[in-house]
């Protein structure tokens, strides 16, 4: 992989995020599309692009647990529940946490919870660290299309002008597993 191309694409993605745009980036299994979770305008653009109803809620992907704390109510977890989560992170497991009362409805949808993940994908870790917070994360695909697994597939579905972080996915075949942080209940097999 051409590291100059990668560095340039990360810089362009960061500029797009600051401009409240939607970007694409590689994750553990597929490319994701994401945006600034604190920008209602950016999240609405993402939902419109994906033709996804706001009621479904979204996932945040982060470089570390600290980036997620402004959005989740960590205080309701016991030490053993927190240890069970940390045993799976960083990695391709998404946990549903109780949301803070201040977490915007454009993230939680009809729920009082929020799905979050601490990624182990080095490019996404770098992107979240450089941006200083988590990103909204949902699969990069238009309605009815398969999720994109390469930069070329993202460009084919979203167009040449769409901001894409150039890189490889983590090679996983399945999307992230989703579990309840409080009960450990499996919502989606990974």
How confident is the model over 33-48, as a mean pLDDT? 97
Number of structural domains (the chain) is 1
Q: What is the CATH number of the domain that holds 163?
A: 3.90.870.10
Q: Residue 190 pLDDT more than 80?
A: no
Dist. CA 164–CA 181, nearest whole Å: 31
pLDDT of residue 5: 60
Q: Please give the residue range of the domain that contains residue 27.
A: 3-188
How confident is the model over 42-62, as a mean pLDDT? 95
Q: How far is CA 134 from the centre of its chain?
A: 7
What integer best gives the mean pLDDT of the chain?
A: 93
pLDDT of residue 161: 92
How confident is the model over 106-114, as a mean pLDDT? 97
Instruction: Give the percent of the chain with pLDDT over 70.
Output: 97
The pLDDT tens digits of the residues spanning 2-22 come to 566 677 888 999 999 999 999
Q: Model's pTM, two decimal places?
A: 0.92
pLDDT of residue 24: 97
Give the single-character DSSP code of 12. Answer: H
Closest by Cα among 73, 156, 61 to 113 = 73
How confident is the model over 141-153, as a mean pLDDT? 92
Residues β-bridged to residue 32? 25, 139
The pLDDT tens digits of the residues spanning 76-101 come to 999 999 999 999 999 999 999 999 99
* pLDDT range class, residue 171, cuts 50, 70, 90: confident
Q: Residue 125 pLDDT more than 90?
A: yes
How confident is the model over 123-128, as a mean pLDDT? 94
How confident is the model over 162-168, as a mean pLDDT? 93
Residue 187: CB atoms within 10 A of its CB come to 12
Contact 35, 42 (CB under 8 A): yes
């Amino acid at each position: 992989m051409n590291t100059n191309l990668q560095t340039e694409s990360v810089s362009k993605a960061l500029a797009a995020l600051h401009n409240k745009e939607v970007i694409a980036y590689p994750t553990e299994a597929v490319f994701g599309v994401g945006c600034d979770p604190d920008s209602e305008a950016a999240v609405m653009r993402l939902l419109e692009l994906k033709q996804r109803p706001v009621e479904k809620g979204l996932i945040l992907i982060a470089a570390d647990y600290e980036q997620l704390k402004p959005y989740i109510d960590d205080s309701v977890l016991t030490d053993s529940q927190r240890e069970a989560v940390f045993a799976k992170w960083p990695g391709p497991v998404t946990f549903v946490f109780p949301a803070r009362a201040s977490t915007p409805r454009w993230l939680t949808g009809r729920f009082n919870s929020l799905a979050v993940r601490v990624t182990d994908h080095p490019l996404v870790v770098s992107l979240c660290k450089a941006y200083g917070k988590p990103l909204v994360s949902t699969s990069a695909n238009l309605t009815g299309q398969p999720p994109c697994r390469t930069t070329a597939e993202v460009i084919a579905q979203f167009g040449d002008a769409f901001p894409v972080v150039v890189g490889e996915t983590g090679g996983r075949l399945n999307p992230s597993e989703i579990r309840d942080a409080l009960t450990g209940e499996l919502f989606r097999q990974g």
